[in-house]
Structure 1
Amino acid sequence: MEISATGRLEVRITAADVGKRVSVRRLADAAGSGEKFTDTVGVLASWDDGVLLITRKSGETVRIPEASLVAGKVVPAAPARRRGPAATYEELARVAARAWRPVESERLGGWELRAAAGFTRRANSVLPLGDPGLPLDAALDAVRRWYAARGLPAYVQTATGAEGTQELLCAELEERGWEREVTAELWIGALAPVADRHEGSGVVLSREADEAWLARYQRKGVSDVALKVLGSGPSVWFASIPAEDGGAPAAIGRCVVDGRWAGFAAVEVDPALRRRGLARRVMAALSARALDEGASAAWLQVETDNVGARGLYAGMGFAAHHAYHHYRSA
């Protein structure tokens, strides 16, 4: 907290600091009857009518009455990552978008409107990288009309927690009644350590998702549109470990190689065969192939409540880069 020369805490932020990363301390009891404090760090999204909105790295928006502030200051951006590949949010957002292409898209200034008959939010949401070229309310109206014409709900995909992410847009959407339905994280790591686990033991690689692979995939009844999305990307590989009984594979995975990046998705294991290293074998085989194609870094997406997957990926050297969210129109 900011401390004056007299040793007293001071509030050194104003409404002019909207858009900056701040650290504030406030009374836990807004009425001021207690001595306990609460600290909040995040992007100052707005300061209107005596209320501050601060968006944390997780995407959570905290409302803080101005009257409860006891200290506050502008703070530097979060420290750069100390392990794994260097990457900007925009680079990763574009790489992830190329790895999961919609069947239809349209530009609205710097926003990309994406649709794929409702198959996954990622392929049926707006990716707002830049200015839409319209006032926000007009842009959101255009988004609603575009998705309504296709019989789809309107979603906007935003991100928080890294330089260049969209904390301000998150706050604007929440103010307008858009509901955040899903929060996940994009994790990155070095590719070679993952490939080092590869022993060539029974993992089959293919350029297409065949019937066996789809039998293990969690999304059943995959349509032609879904197959197009699954097969989209610069260089797509599917991996599977055949089951001993000839049924659905014991484990599967998908990888898209795009320049220096290899993106992993759909890593799934037969529930009866979990904790036997099958997911690691799938990812190792895909990583070895990605290395052969010139990739050196890896990314993947994992939901915040998927404890098992987060433990697996952390053990393989991955760490969170930023959080991303899907907001649905009210």
Structure 2
Amino acid sequence: MEFTAGGQLEVRITPSDVGKRVSVRRRAEPGGGSETFTDTVGVLTSWDNAVLLITRRTGETVRILESSLVAGKVVPARRPTAAPHGASRPSWMAPARRRGPAASYEELARVSARAWQPVESEPLGDWLLRASSGFTRRANSVLPLGDPGLPLDAALTRVREWYAKRELPAYVQTATGAEDTQEALCAELERHGWEREVSAELRIGALAPVGDLDADVERVRLGRSVDEAWLRRYQRSAVPGPHVVQVLSSGPSVWFATVPGASEVPAAIGRCVVDGRWAGFMAVEVDPAYRRQGLATTVMTALARRALDEGASAAWLQVESDNDGARALYEGMGFAVHHHYHHFRHPLR
């Protein structure tokens, strides 16, 4: 991390750089022997009253006293992936199916939203208010892709009123850590008293390597509709009412996977939504009695092969940041973090 100009540490950022990705070095808190420094990289979301707020890729907000700065600079935006030499089409359309996909945040936000379509929705400018009787935060939160058409205070008031009418908590889904994500909105929500309740990773990878894994896919039953046995294994809803089935069945091309077990409850399940070049994996769950037998891999391989048959070439999935076992599994399959997403809840008072 280079901060020097002519061999001297230099602070090369100002309050006019709010909204840009920056890298800063500051003096650590006093108390040790020799002077030490801490580096922070993220989006500069505010610089007021001699205090900087920097939102990291993970969504964590770091508060830094201006007086503690010893160096700082703006981090250049990452260049988009170039198309192959002589090609006019986007790089993701190149024939190499095994290369990891390139994608913008907005593309992935819209693709993942179509995989969890709400029972009801209403636009608020470029924001989308979604509700599904409380089943999954993804289908019961605001998706803020752009300008709400109102000042932020008024927009958040409208959001709270809309969810209150449905006797639901008000959530806003945001993202951090990629180009054009919403670090500034995260900081504003915190300033307005909203609390970050859950954070997760959206990971992407090439689809073909998942389909090529050595797995006993003959054990997997694939179907277009969710049945009672599948729902008995699904752990995300205590009472799977019609709204649960409606949300789970939503999407351009939905597949459900089931691995039968010794009882009426399946040993493993999974869900995949195929949407153009993308295949989204979700609801991959294994009975504790059947774990460490590779069933999660088996389910994903079977779903990946079906998605490849439908023309998909890229894959995405979502995993909570503290689920170390799942994160290790997906890393082994070639999935890398594209961005982090968060659900901010307005506190009930």
Q: TM-score over 0.5 for the alignment?
A: yes
Instruction: Please tell me whether the aligned partners of residues 274 and 312 of structure 2 are also in contact (alpha carbons under 8 angstroms).
Output: yes
> Deviation string for 1:274-303 (max 9, x for gaps)?
111111111111111111111011000000
1:88 aligns with 104
Task: Tell me the distance in 2 between the aligned counterparts of 1:30 and 1:14.
Answer: 25
Q: 2:280 aligns with which of 263, 268, 285?
A: 263
Q: 1:126 aligns with which of 126, 136, 142?
A: 142
Confirm whether residue 239 of structure 1 aligns to residue 257 of structure 2: yes
Confirm whether residue 162 of structure 1 aligns to residue 187 of structure 2: no
Letter paired with 1:19: G
Confirm whether residue 36 of structure 1 aligns to residue 36 of structure 2: yes
1:214 aligns with 231
Aligned-residue CA RMSD (Å): 1.7
1:322 aligns with 339
Task: Tell me the distance in 2 between the aligned counterparts of 1:28 and 1:78.
Answer: 29
Instruction: Please tell me whether the aligned partners of residues 23 and 74 of structure 1 are also in contact (alpha carbons under 8 angstroms).
Output: yes
Task: Tell me the distance in 2 between the aligned counterparts of 1:38 and 1:196.
Answer: 44
Identify if the C-alpha distance between structure 1 residues 295 and 148 changes in structure 2 by more than 3 Å, giving closer, same or farther.
same
Structure 1 residue matching 2:19: 3-state secondary structure: coil
Task: Tell me the distance in 1 between the aligned counterparts of 2:41 and 2:183.
Answer: 12
2:16 aligns with 16
Task: Tell me the distance in 1 between the aligned counterparts of 2:217 and 2:168.
Answer: 43
Count of matched residue positions in the alignment of Structure 1 and Structure 2? 328
Confirm whether residue 230 of structure 1 aligns to residue 248 of structure 2: yes
User: TM-score, with normalisation over the residues of structure 2?
Assistant: 0.91
Letter paired with 2:50: G
Identify if the C-alpha distance between structure 1 residues 79 and 272 changes in structure 2 by more than 3 Å, giving closer, same or farther.
farther
Identity over aligned pairs, percent: 72
Q: 5+ unaligned residues in a row in structure 2: which ranges?
A: 83-98
Task: Tell me the distance in 2 between the aligned counterparts of 1:189 and 1:316.
Answer: 8
Once the two structures are TM-superposed, the CA of residue 30 in structure 1 deviates from its matched residue by 6.6
Structure 2 residue matching 1:226: 3-state secondary structure: helix
1:111 aligns with 127
Instruction: Please tell me whether the aligned partners of residues 31 and 68 of structure 1 are also in contact (alpha carbons under 8 angstroms).
Output: no
> Deviation string for 1:112-141 (max 9, x for gaps)?
000000111100000000010111111101
Identify if the C-alpha distance between structure 1 residues 142 and 308 changes in structure 2 by more than 3 Å, giving closer, same or farther.
same
Instruction: Please tell me whether the aligned partners of residues 262 and 299 of structure 1 are also in contact (alpha carbons under 8 angstroms).
Output: yes
Letter paired with 2:249: G
Letter paired with 1:217: Y
User: TM-score, with normalisation over the residues of structure 1?
Assistant: 0.96
Q: 1:102 aligns with which of 118, 131, 136?
A: 118
Identify if the C-alpha distance between structure 1 residues 293 and 230 changes in structure 2 by more than 3 Å, giving closer, same or farther.
same
Letter paired with 2:278: W
Structure 2 residue matching 1:201: 3-state secondary structure: helix
Confirm whether residue 4 of structure 1 aligns to residue 5 of structure 2: yes
Task: Tell me the distance in 2 between the aligned counterparts of 1:43 and 1:33.
Answer: 31
Once the two structures are TM-superposed, the CA of residue 247 in structure 1 deviates from its matched residue by 2.2
Once the two structures are TM-superposed, the CA of residue 2 in structure 1 deviates from its matched residue by 2.4
Q: 2:326 aligns with which of 302, 309, 312?
A: 309
